Structure formats: C-alpha cells, structure tokens
Amino acid sequence: MTTSWPQDRPFPFSKHVPSGELVTAWEFSQRRISDVARVIESLMEPTPACVAVSGSLSRMEGHELSDLDLLIVVDDRDEREVDAEDLHRRVWRALEERLPGPEVERPTAGGIFSRCVSWKDVTDLSRRGVVDEDIDTFGHRIQLLIDSQPVTGSEQYVQLQREILDWYREDRIRALFGESSTWHWLWQDVQRYWRSLRSRSCWIASGRLGKSMEINLKLRSSRQTLVAAFLHTLDRVGMTDGCDELILEALYRTPVERLADASTRAAELVGAYENLWARCRELNHFNSGAHDVTPEISDADRQIVGQLAELTCEAIGSKSLNWIL
C-alpha cells in the first residue's frame, strides 16, 4: 500500500498515457504545492495546525488556471483563543506577495475556502445528525476526508482525518437493523454531498453557456470519479479489522489511481478521463477569455462521458455507481 502523498510520487500512469496532458498536470501540481508549502512554512507564529490543498491540485490535475483551494486548519480544541480571521488573511497575503507562478486569486467570499477550518467544529460530537448544520463545516469535513492532501503539517492532517472518520463511525443502529457497515452514515453523507453537486450543476451559471458546460463536464468526470472512488473504498473495506486505517491508507492515492487499481481496463479508463480533463481545461480557457473554442457539448463529448461511466461501473461494481448515477 502506498503511504506517500501524490505530490511526493512520480506520475503513476506512464504505461497508460506516457506522454499525455495528465503528465504535465501532475508535474505542475507538484511544483505548485511545493511552492505553496514554502510560503506557508515561512510564516511567523501563530501558524495553522495544518494546511491542505483541495480540488484539481489535490487530485494532481492542476494547470495555470486552476483555483488554489486551501483548507487552513486551526486547532481550537482546547478553548484557547485563535484569531482565525487574521490567520486566514496572513496566509493569503503571504501567498499573494511571495508565491511564484500564476497569479493568486483569493477564494470567493462566502465559500468554504474563504475561512479557516475549525478542528473543534468538524469533530464536535454534538453536531452528528444535525441536518441544518452550517454548510461551511459540512463542506470542510467532507473535503478534508475525500478531496485533499496536506501541504503543511502532514501528521496533524492525518490525525484530523482519523478523528473525522471516528466522528462518522456508527455501530448502534448498524447492529439493530443490519446496516452494511460501520460507515453506513458516512456513505449517506457522501451521497448528500454528491446530490448537492448534481443539483448545483443544473442551475449555477445557467445563463453562461460555456461555464455551465464546464461545470457539468467536471461533474461527470472528476467529481463522479472522486465520489465513486471513495464509495468503492468504503465497499471494499466494509467491516474488515482495522478498517479505518485501511480507508486512511487508500486516501494516499488519487481517485483515478484507486479506480485504475480496481479496473481490468485501466488504460481505457485513464485515457477517457484524460480526454474529459483536456476538454474541461479547454472550456476553462474559453471561460477565462484565454482560448478560442466553440462552447458546445459534442456527440464525442457525450460518448466519452458514457465511456467513463461504463468503465467506472465495471471497476467498482454496480452498487456504488447506481447510487451515484
């Protein structure tokens, strides 16, 4: 089992796409994460407990127009005062001033990356089962677990992931009603996340054709793969002894790596994924005004979307994917 983060490993699909665009994206992501780490590690105290990167950089699919999605974690468990707003400002000011490469854009106000992650809040047992929990805390918890890797403070990051998994552990109802595993509630919360993404993709940017197409292709490629790979991990682990550690070990691999590991047609799966990634990047360039491309979904796009769904289903089995689709 791999126990090094993707940012510390060479591109894993050389035999499938030896000279493809995903190779360039992997190497770009490595450089970008390393540069971000150097800036954050140069900060004066107080510093975050850990910082994780999410989104395309976390999945090693970054490019020059990729957002810098950072989860800046403050350890506020012992009730000490932490000026999270000031820490968030200092981190982003330092990145704006010192980070080489593409220009840094601060996170959108009101989004989950626009404020620090409270370690206390994402592991607070009194929040379990609270349907109207604030969306930032829910988003922080899910992103830390299924779509991130550490930039700084890797030991604290893994400890926080472990505590979030423990937060999701549920055996009382499982035993009473024969639920599938300890993680049946986590399964449902990941579905909640996925359904929210599907709903959002129907309506966000609906008046901007190119942006709407980009969002919906991402939903059917990277987001679908992200959720499918995580649910497959829960399926595969089940009630195995030490199952929480097996889940944590799996998260050292990107979602595409986990699906490819489970597939008998890994080269086709990675190839289809790369084709959709390239199409999303093309639309991203169009939407930024940096590239001249017709913003339409072609029959070829729809064919590749269907191919990736078919290959994903074959890799993980119908149980996980039927829930997703």
The tens digit of pLDDT for each residue in 14-32 reads 888 867 899 999 999 999 9
240 dihedral zone (left: phi>0; alpha: psi -120 to 50; beta) = beta
- pTM for this predicted structure: 0.94
Query: Rounded CA gap, 216 and 95, in Å?
Result: 30
Domain boundaries, the chain: 1-168, 179-325
DSSP for 60-109, please give it: T---TT---EEEEEE--TT-----HHHHHHHHHHHHHHH--SSPP-PPPT
| pLDDT tens-digit readout, 101-133 | 999 999 999 999 999 999 999 999 999 999 899
Residues of the chain above pLDDT 70, percent: 95
| pLDDT tens-digit readout, 132-162 | 999 999 999 999 999 999 999 999 999 999 9
Q: Which of 89-93, 133-137, 203-207 has the lowest mean pLDDT?
A: 203-207
**What pLDDT sits at residue 82?**
81
C-alpha dihedral sign at 275, 281, 284, 290: negative
| pLDDT tens-digit readout, 222-278 | 999 999 999 999 988 877 777 899 999 999 999 999 999 999 999 999 999 999 999
**What pLDDT sits at residue 315?**
92
**What pLDDT sits at residue 289?**
74
Residues of the chain above pLDDT 90, percent: 78
pLDDT over threshold 80, residue 321: no
